[in-house]
Structure 1
Amino acid sequence: MDIKESVFKDDVSNFIFSLQKLLPKKKETLTSIFEFDKPTLIRLNDVHLEAKNVFPKCFVGAKLVVLRQIMDKVKLMQNYSFGKTKESYKCFSQLLYKEMDTKNIDDGLLIDSTGSAIATYKETIDDFEMRLTSKIKDIVSSETEIVFEKDSEKFIGSISCSMKDVDPITLNLVTQWMYKVRPEISIGSELGIRPLSYPLSPELSFSARYERQSFTLSSTLSRLGFQVCVFKQFTPDLRIATIFNESNKGGPASVGLALHKSYENGSQLKMFVDSQRCGGFTYERDVLFQEHNEVRVIRLLASTLIDRQRRVRFGFGFNLDF
């Protein structure tokens, strides 16, 4: 039996249309990372936020991340990977507790396909915000943290208590505060201690931040080392950052330079180089598919990393947010 060309085209079109229906719908509002209102006062663990967000998170291998809303407050995250997909190289260190972590987490339950779960509960008591987070990785591995946070016009502070694997020795108490001395100058400090460990070894750090409308200079001094971050936004779609690191563990100081460029089609390019002869970039783009009156989207990720051995490695992935 002969296969007609028109029948073959219809079958292919129907197949492609069926695949498009499996993609997530485009969100009603897509906000660019360049378009955000700076808060009047920033948390201590976000003191270097703008500069460190400019640097790319390079990965190697192939990965697929699917985030699906199952119920009102329940989400399912599925991660599929081939090869080494974790960050293979970091051009800056994190000197503060929970630095760069997501702070405004919605109430609910996030379940990972690997078997881990994260439950979050928030409550406002008088002027304090209480946030309880419980992470369960497997039967014997867990982490629980409770945070009390208070903010005002010039001050924001928090006290957190965390424990891993229900082991009292891992009990960790951390207090952070940030105070705005002047509209453009803020200072802060962090104190962490494990009261049940021996010998007691408190972790103390000091931070300072100077910011303008399109320029930010921040620094942190701790027992682990010293760090200075410089952020500059030239145009609404172009910004650069520089990070200087000096570790107390020995070794030479390092300097990294990064660039973040946003394009009119919604794609973003991040690239960096540093004094350790490393470099790399990541490229993200949302591909839109028209389905009658609905628009569906798939986010493409590409990554390239040049390590200290001058090896060039690549990564590719997809992000789907239903």
Structure 2
Amino acid sequence: MGNVLAATSPPPPPTTYGVPPMSTKDDSVGKVDTSTANDLNPGPMEDLHKKCKDVFPMPFDGARLVITKGLSNHFQLSHNITMSNGVTVPPGYRFGATYIGTKQISPTEAYPILYGEMDPSGNLNSRLLHLIGDRLKLQIGAQIQDSKCVSSQLTTDYRGRDFTASMTFGNIDPINLSGVVVSHYLQNVTPNVALGGELAYQCGPHVPGNEVAVLSLAGRYTSPNNYILSGTLSNSGAHLCYYQKGGENIQVGVEVETNLRMMESTASFGYQVDLPKANLVFRGMVDTNWTVGAVLEKKLLPLPFTFALSGQINHIKHATRIGAGLYLG
């Protein structure tokens, strides 16, 4: 069911920027004390496999130029030019704007966050993130193409001291009685073990039987020895992840996805190598479908430039993707 949401939800705000430092004129303005709110909190269900997923590269093809310009402590603009065959990202120019509010939670997190990206044809991706109080997080996203709203999503996360409860509504259409509703609950039963579940419900004229519901169980074990085991299990399949921090500069991850309905299973191995002295990050992966991919990112200090090289090849399909990118700002 997570694939349904991934296909219908708009993309998240870009991860190439950090929250700028707040003004030091009055350090008490906008700050929230979350020392107890985040105590033993397991985080949302969507971050269950995050540590493992972050190790894997995100290959791209063609050429990419991204220019980010901060106009103030709270507002920045971006220009994204992509030249590719449109397999992963459509080619062309996209203009983006991001506003980061004054409610600062930590040195790298502040709310509200308003993000929008538009191309010359008027197609728009937008998202709003806001923290209500110190425990309730709200996310609203929409995607507009050809003057039509093709995707919409509303997500609420309530973060208790040792649990997170979430509810997501995607593409709700009360006229045609269609949409997706997903509820998550993740509880820390011990400081190292988190257990929870997901209930996903989808209805609509294009759904077999007009409706379908899937119940999944989830768990995660965080070891003091720098490794994490996480997994979800449902009647349609299983998703297992293993993450290991091998040292100061090396991280590895293993991911296994099994689809019982299609009787298919895929295993992937990924790794990340950080070389701080060389200002270089290298991520690579290989899976059982004979796909090999890698992304290299090199900061060109003292200039505010980052150069990226990407490559991916599937030996069975004889498909190759090669890309190069330059990020300014």
What's the TM-score once normalised by structure 1's chain length? 0.72
2:240 matched to 1:228?
yes
Cα drift, residue 148 of structure 1: 2.3
Which position in structure 2 is the counterpart of 1:49? 50
Query: CA 1:171/1:75 → structure 2, altered by over 3 Å: closer, same or farther?
Result: farther
Determine if contact 1:143/1:165 at 8 Å carries over to the other structure. no
Q: Report the residue type matching 2:221 in the other structure.
A: Y
> Which string of whole-angstrom CA distances, capped at 9 and with x for unpartnered residues, describes residues 134-170 of structure 1?
3323301343322222111211011122226886444
Q: CA RMSD in A?
A: 3.3
What is the 5 A alignment of 1:166-315?
168-194=176-202, 199-213=210-224, 214-263=226-275, 264-288=277-301, 295-309=302-316, 311=318, 313-315=320-322
Measure the CA separation in 2 of the matches of 1:202 and 1:81: 40
> Which string of whole-angstrom CA distances, capped at 9 and with x for unpartnered residues, describes residues 22-53 of structure 1?
xxx99989xxxxxxx99742211111111111
Q: Report the residue type matching 1:203 in the other structure.
A: V
Query: CA 1:192/1:220 → structure 2, altered by over 3 Å: closer, same or farther?
Result: same
Query: CA 1:127/1:227 → structure 2, altered by over 3 Å: closer, same or farther?
Result: closer
SS at 1:235 equivalent: coil
Which ranges of structure 2 fall in alignment gaps of 5 or more residues? 1-16, 22-37, 90-108
Cα drift, residue 116 of structure 1: 1.3
Which position in structure 1 is the counterpart of 2:158? 150
Q: Report the residue type matching 1:265 in the other structure.
A: A
What is the 5 A alignment of 1:91-110?
106-110=112-116
Q: Report the residue type matching 1:53 in the other structure.
A: D
| 247-256 vs 69-78, greater mean Cα deviation | 69-78
Query: CA 1:186/1:150 → structure 2, altered by over 3 Å: closer, same or farther?
Result: same
Query: CA 1:268/1:227 → structure 2, altered by over 3 Å: closer, same or farther?
Result: same
SS at 1:296 equivalent: coil
Structure having the higher strand fraction is 2
Measure the CA separation in 2 of the matches of 1:153 and 1:27: 25
Which position in structure 1 is the counterpart of 2:35? none
Which ranges of structure 1 fall in alignment gaps of 5 or more residues? 1-24, 30-36, 88-102, 289-294
Measure the CA separation in 2 of the matches of 1:320 and 1:66: 6
Measure the CA separation in 2 of the matches of 1:165 and 1:68: 38
Measure the CA separation in 1 of the matches of 2:51 and 2:138: 26
Which position in structure 1 is the counterpart of 2:149? 141
Report how many residues are paired.
Answer: 270
Measure the CA separation in 1 of the matches of 2:231 and 2:265: 15
Query: CA 1:85/1:268 → structure 2, altered by over 3 Å: closer, same or farther?
Result: farther
Query: CA 1:175/1:151 → structure 2, altered by over 3 Å: closer, same or farther?
Result: same
Determine if contact 2:112/2:131 at 8 Å carries over to the other structure. no
| 120-129 vs 235-244, greater mean Cα deviation | 120-129
Determine if contact 2:313/2:321 at 8 Å carries over to the other structure. no
SS at 2:300 equivalent: strand
Query: CA 1:301/1:168 → structure 2, altered by over 3 Å: closer, same or farther?
Result: farther
Measure the CA separation in 1 of the matches of 2:174 and 2:144: 11
Cα drift, residue 70 of structure 1: 6.2
Q: Report the residue type matching 1:254 in the other structure.
A: T
Measure the CA separation in 2 of the matches of 1:121 and 1:54: 25
Cα drift, residue 109 of structure 1: 3.5
Higher relative contact order (Cα pairs below 8 Å, separated by 6+ residues):
1
SS at 1:201 equivalent: strand
Cα drift, residue 301 of structure 1: 1.3
